[in-house]
Every structure is written in C-alpha cells, then in structure tokens.
Amino acid sequence: MAVLVTGGAGYIGSHTAVALHEAGRRIVVLDDLSNSSERAVDAIRALTGGNLTFVQGDAADVDLVSRTIVEQDVDEVVHFAAFKSVSDSVERPLAYFANNMGSLVGVVEAMAATRVRRMVFSSSCTVYGEPDEVPVTESSPTGAANPYGWTKLHGEQFLEQVAAVGGLDVMLLRYFNPVGAHPSGTMGEDSRGVPTNLVPYLMQVAVGRLERLPVFGADYDTPDGSPVRDYLHVVDLAEGHVAALDALPANPGCRAINLGTGRGYSVLEVVAAAEHALGRPVAHEVVDRRPGDVARIWAGTDLAERLLGWAASRGLSEMLADHWRWQEAHPHGYGD
C-alpha cells in the first residue's frame, strides 16, 4: 500500500514525503507544480533512493486522483495541495476558494469513490485569528481573517461533516510557522516570486537577492514590540505527519491538532538568531505594521504529545542553520 501526498513537490510536502519514506511507507506525489518545480521531485528522489511515483496533475481532478489511488494501491492520503499566501488571497479570493476548496472536495470525492478512509489535512494556526489568550489550544475560538484563512476553516468544517457521516477518518493538523530545510542542504523552500514569509525573505536578503528585510512593526504589545510566532522546523513538522497517520487507526473520526513547539519568538529575536547562525548582520529596518498580522500566537502542544506521541525537537538555531545551508547552496532555489 502507499500514501498519496498531494502538493508533495511543495515545501512541507517534499519534506513529509522523505519522512514517510524513512518511516517505511511507499509514496506517491501528485502535484500540478503551480508553486513548485520538478527539481523538487528530483530532490525527493535523491533522498529516497528513487522510491517515488510522481503524477503531475490537479488534485481537483477526481478521475485522475481516483485512477492514481487505484493504480498505486493507495490507502492513506496527506493533502497539502493548496495556494498559501495570505496577501495573494486578498487580491485573488476566487482563485483561493476555487483551488483550495476545489482540490479538497476533489480528493475527498476520489477517496469516497475508491473507499480510502484515512486522511491528514494541512490546516493552519490562521484558524485561531487574533487569539485572546496564548498558548492557543485546539478548543480555542476559531475564525477567519482573510480568504486563505477562510479556505482552511471551511476546509476543516467540511471534513468534520464528512467524518460525522462516517465517510472519513481525518486529522486536521494546524501548523504554526514552519522554517528550515532538510539537513542535507539539498531540499528546501522555493516558492515562486518574492517571498512573503519572514525567514525566506530574510534568507534572500542574506544571499543578496533582496536588499533589506522589512520588519513589519515594532510597536505591538510584546516584549520587544515585534510580533511573536511559534516557528518550527519543517522536518519536525514532516515527522508530525507520520505520527498522525500512525495514530489514525486508533483515533477514528475527525480531530484538530496543533503542530508547533509551544514557544514563541519575536521577529527581532529571529533576526538576531539568524545573524548569529550566519555569522554576520542581515540588513533590516522597522517599517509600518502589515495589515492583518496578529500580535502574538504560539501553540498549546499537549494534545499532539498525548495523541500522536509527537513533540518538536529542533530549536530555532538549528532551523536557521539548516535553512541557511539550503539557501547558501541554492541562492535561486531549485533554479540553480
């Protein structure tokens, strides 16, 4: 049997494909390469000794996904395929509703048609909006502040409904802020266009592709005034998916689970840690707040530890050192 990894050529999907292989699973990646390149698939192949089937196509294509499930003997699905930029979603809300909901419904339809039950869904701590209290736990109030967040919240609700009528067993994994890269330096984050996330932007400043990191606000009600997030190593996050699939048979139905470290760092702390990892300063300047940013959020991690037996083990300096190893070796991502 095999695991179907939709969006498996992307940042988190590629690391998860490798972790699944290392855990003894056969992997099938389905990706339309809308935000990734076939070179990422080559990187997975190199790290898994070629043990990978790659299908290029749209996860919303029910016939293609059904056929792939049957031909490849798939019995578990990890669904990453989605657009992920908050700012882009505000500019192109329809594209986000169509792609993120369309691919989710397509995959669930294909699973129903082929009687595959077990699924892990990429959700996000964006579903907590601006939290009143930190850390946020899985029972904290939810909401959506932008079209991207809407697709995650409604994606979760859709899956809850399908599970409630007995159609699926699913873990909704609410990721906090993944950073870092595979320790080999051969696989990492390579989104198209100018990055919007903190660490990818910072690393492109460090390699000279961008001039200066804008620090979006230092006047928040936080210890140093800059916003606080829960950054976790992408390899820890990848291993969380293996743990979730392993835990599904004993935990049927639908469950939301935070995947974070339980510890927050401010933007200025991340900049200082990156400068330490790189051994040199990174040009940055404080500018106005970015609309829609929350002041602080980090994860309550008890449920992940209890249900999945999973806890993040890699710290911020390891995340930044690994991210830098990848970026320094590949200043233009997989294009080099």
**Contacting positions for ligand UFG (CB under 6 A):** 84, 86, 124-126, 175-177, 196-198, 201, 213-216, 227, 229, 267, 290, 293
Query: Of ligand NAD, ligand UFG, none, which one does residue 11 interact with (CB within 5 to 8 Å by kind)?
Result: ligand NAD
Nearer to ligand UFG, 17 or 125 (CB): 125
Q: What are the structure tokens assigned to 173, written together? A: 């994994």
Query: Of ligand NAD, ligand UFG, none, which one does residue 9 interact with (CB within 5 to 8 Å by kind)?
Result: ligand NAD
Is-catalytic flag, 265? Answer: no
Query: Of ligand NAD, ligand UFG, none, which one does residue 10 interact with (CB within 5 to 8 Å by kind)?
Result: ligand NAD
Nearer to ligand NAD, 178 or 217 (CB): 178
Q: What angle do CA 315, 81, 73 make, to 5 degrees?
A: 105
**Tokens 């990706």 belong to which residue?**
31
Between CA 325 and CA 19 the distance in angstroms is: 19
DSSP secondary structure letters along 4-21: EEETTTSHHHHHHHHHHH
- Catalytic residue, from 11, 128, 148, 201: name it: 148
Nearer to ligand NAD, 169 or 189 (CB): 189
Tell me which stretch binds ligand NAD (CB under 6 A): 75-83, 132-140, 283-291, 304-312: 75-83
Query: Of ligand UFG, ligand NAD, none, which one does residue 80 interact with (CB within 5 to 8 Å by kind)?
Result: ligand NAD
Whole-angstrom Cα Rg for the chain:
19
- How long a stretch of residues is the chain? 336
Between CA 261 and CA 311 the distance in angstroms is: 7
DSSP conformational letter for 258: E
Q: Which residues pair with 45 in a beta bridge?
A: none
Is 261 one of the binding residues for ligand NAD (CB under 6 A)?
Answer: no
* Distances in whole angstroms, Cα of residue 173 to Cα of each of 31, 125, 156, 303, 306: 20, 9, 10, 11, 14
Helix (H) / strand (E) containing 70:
helix 62-71
3-class state of residue 121 by DSSP: strand
Q: Which 76-105 residues touch ligand NAD, going by CB under 6 A?
A: 80-82, 84, 99, 103
Is 37 one of the binding residues for ligand NAD (CB under 6 A)?
Answer: no
Query: Of ligand UFG, ligand NAD, none, which one does residue 122 interact with (CB within 5 to 8 Å by kind)?
Result: ligand NAD
What string marks each residue from 218 to 257 as x (binds ligand NAD by CB under 6 A) or -? Answer: ----------------------------------------
Query: What's at 170, amino acid-wise?
Result: V
Catalytic residues: 148
